[in-house]
Structure 1
Amino acid sequence: MGATTTLASAAGSLAAAAYFARKVLTPERKRPDDVELLEVRDDRLLLSATAETVVPGLYGLWLDGGRGHVRIGDLTGTDVADGTVERLVLGLDAGRLAPGGARFNGYHYAGTPDSDLGLPTEHVDVEGELGRLPAWVVPAREGRGSRWAVLVHGRGARRQEALRALPALHAAGWTSLVPTYRNDEDVPAGPDGRYNLGLSEWRDIESAVEYAVRSGAREILLVGWSMGGAITLQFLDRSPLADLVSRVVLDGPVIDWADVLDHHARMHHVPRPVGTLSRTMMGRPWGKRFVGVHESVDVAQTDWVRRADELRHSILLIHSADDEFVPVGPSRALAQHRPDLVHFEEWRVARHCKEWNTDPERWEQLVRDFAAN
Structure 2
Amino acid sequence: MLQYRRAAPSAFAAVVRAVLVLLSGALAFTLGAMGVVAIRMARKVVRPAARENDTRIVAFDTQAQTIGLSRTADTELPGRYGLFTTGSEDYIKLGSVLSQSDTEVRRKLLTHVGPDARIWRDAAFSGWYFSRPEELHLPFTPELIGSALGPCPAWLFPAGESTTWVVQVHGRGAARAECLRAVPVFHAAGITSLVVSYRNDGEAPHSRSGTYSLGATEWRDVDAAVGFARRHGAQRIVVMGWSMGGAIALQLALNSAHRDLIVGVILDSPVVDWRVVLDYQAAQVGLPAPVTKLAIAALGAEWGTVLTGASAPIPFRRLDIVSRAAELRQPVLILHSDQDGFVPSDASHALQAARPDLVELEVFTEARHTKLWNYDQERWSRRILAWLRERGLTDEQ
Q: TM-score, normalised by structure 2?
A: 0.87
Contact 1:137/1:177 (8 A) holds in 2: yes
Work out the CA distance in 2 between the residues paired with 1:253 and 1:260. 10
Q: Which residue of 1 aligns with 2:182?
A: 165
Equivalent residue for 1:58, pick from 73, 80, 85: 80
Equivalent residue for 1:42, pick from 57, 64, 82: 64
Work out the CA distance in 2 between the residues paired with 1:280 and 1:232. 25
Indicate the RMSD between aligned Cα atoms, in angstroms: 2.1
Contact 1:33/1:65 (8 A) holds in 2: no
Q: Which residue of 2 aligns with 1:137?
A: 156
What pairs with 1:74-89 in structure 2 (closer than 5 Å)?
Answer: 74-80=96-102, 83-89=103-109
Q: Could you tell me how far 1:356 is from its partner in structure 2? A: 0.6
Q: TM-score, normalised by structure 1?
A: 0.92
Query: Which structure has the larger Rg?
Result: 2
What pairs with 1:320-335 in structure 2 (closer than 5 Å)?
Answer: 320-335=337-352
Q: Which residue of 1 aligns with 2:47?
A: 26
Residue identity over aligned pairs, in percent, reads 39
Any idea what SS the aligned residue of 1:64 has?
coil
Corresponding letter in the other structure for 1:168? V
Q: Could you tell me how far 1:285 is from its partner in structure 2? A: 1.7
Q: Could you tell me how far 1:190 is from its partner in structure 2? A: 1.9
What pairs with 1:120-131 in structure 2 (closer than 5 Å)?
Answer: 120-131=139-150
Corresponding letter in the other structure for 2:86? D
Work out the CA distance in 2 between the residues paired with 1:299 and 1:349. 29
Equivalent residue for 2:277, pick from 252, 260, 272: 260
Corresponding letter in the other structure for 2:164? R
Q: Which residue of 1 aligns with 2:215?
A: 198
Comparing 338-347 and 231-240, the one that deviates more: 231-240
Deviations 1:299-354 (A, max 9, x none): 12222222211111101110001100000111111111111101110001101011
Q: Could you tell me how far 1:92 is from its partner in structure 2? A: 3.8
Q: Which residue of 2 aligns with 1:279?
A: 296
Q: Could you tell me how far 1:89 is from its partner in structure 2? A: 2.0
Corresponding letter in the other structure for 2:216? L
Work out the CA distance in 2 between the residues paired with 1:94 and 1:215. 44
Comparing 241-250 and 181-190, the one that deviates more: 181-190
Where does structure 1 lack aligned partners over 5 or more consecutive residues?
none
Corresponding letter in the other structure for 1:91? T
- Judging by fraction of residues, say which structure has more strand: 1
Work out the CA distance in 2 between the residues paired with 1:310 and 1:151. 22
Where does structure 2 lack aligned partners over 5 or more consecutive residues?
1-20, 393-397
Work out the CA distance in 1 between the residues paired with 2:93 and 2:190. 27
Contact 2:57/2:67 (8 A) holds in 1: no
Contact 1:43/1:89 (8 A) holds in 2: yes
User: Against the structure 1 CA distance between its residues 371 and 65, is the aligned structure 2 distance closer, same or farther, given a 3 Å change threshold?
Assistant: farther
Contact 1:203/1:235 (8 A) holds in 2: yes
Q: Could you tell me how far 1:245 is from its partner in structure 2? A: 0.6
Any idea what SS the aligned residue of 1:16 has?
helix
Work out the CA distance in 2 between the residues paired with 1:260 and 1:242. 27
Equivalent residue for 2:328, pick from 311, 321, 333: 311
Task: Tell me the number of residue pairs that the alignment of Structure 1 and Structure 2 aligns.
Answer: 367
